[in-house]
Copies of this chain bind each other. A is one copy, B any other.
Amino acid sequence: MSGWLVIAGLGPGNEQLVTPEVSVALRDATDIVGYIPYVRRVAPRVGLTRHESDNRVELDRARNALEMAAAGQRVVVVSSGDPGVFAMASAVFEAVEAGPPHWRDLDIRVLPGVTAMLAAAARAGAPLGHDFCAINLSDNLKPWQVIEKRLRLAVEADFAMALYNPRSSARPEGFGRMLHILHDICEPKRVLIFARAVSTPEETLRVVSLAEATPEMADMRTVVLVGSSATRVVSRAGSPFVYTPRSVLA
């Protein structure tokens, strides 16, 4: 019985962005657990069972993975991006804390990955090159008032921002409300980047001003980056470079 549980980040989509450490864990696993599209990124092979589950059942999925590891299996819970950023790692430790005491003694490791905001920022230039924050816009797990408060304080702090899960068919209005708040407190020229499915064949990147931004520019495969007041757009033939300078003047 030497089971283990690895919570691994598969990166934003392209196999060239999966770390060797994660590839080794996937190779050694007996069981892959996760949301359907992420599990399907792992090729089937003899000796490997792939456990696909639907969205929004993170705690059930985590408990299932922990039970299998406790029974001696070698389990990889897969997330896209980094597993610690709005993904499965928190759910697993939540399950550990609430679960039987022997779960705490399991061999549990988190393997980091390239999270969506870093892949998106890299495509645009360096929009997160100075202090920044990451906010999950989904209000499934927190009240909208908390999101609004954080947005307002983040703008006051003049952070660049990465907004995850900006919009889904179940929550079509939140992102429009978010844009209204930004209109309220930012200049119309504030830079927004809509980065969709970065590193996959469906990748699109759109650099617009706040004045030009519309809710339809985002969906669940989009991460939205919002510049700080200092973020610069360097125009050129093709998509511009966007970067936030390293310095703040006194």
Contacts and interface: CB of A to CB of B under 8 A. Distances in A.
Given A97-B232, A118-B84, A243-B90, A248 B105 contact: no
B85 A143 contact: no
Interface in A1-50: 11, 14-21, 24
A149 B121 CA distance: 25
Given A20-B16, A89-B129, A245-B90, A82 B157 contact: no
A122 B111 contact: yes
Q: Which of A19, A83, A244 has the most CB of B within 10 A?
A: A19
A96 B245 CA distance: 12
Chain A, interface size category, equals 35 or more
A186 interface: no
Contact of A246 (B94, B125, B248): B94
A145 B158 CA distance: 13
Contacts of A170: none
B136 A134 contact: no
A56 to B, nearest CB: 11
B18 A19 contact: yes
Nearest to A120: B112
A16 B11 contact: no
B132 A133 contact: yes
A93 B128 contact: no
A121 B130 contact: no
A19 B128 contact: no
Rank and list the top 4 A-B pairs by shortest CB-CB distance, nearest first: A90-B129, A89-B126, A142-B248, A133-B133
Interface of A: 11, 14-21, 24, 58, 82-87, 89-94, 96-97, 104-105, 108-115, 118-119, 121-123, 125-136, 141-143, 145-146, 149-150, 153-154, 156-159, 232, 234-237, 241, 243-248, 250
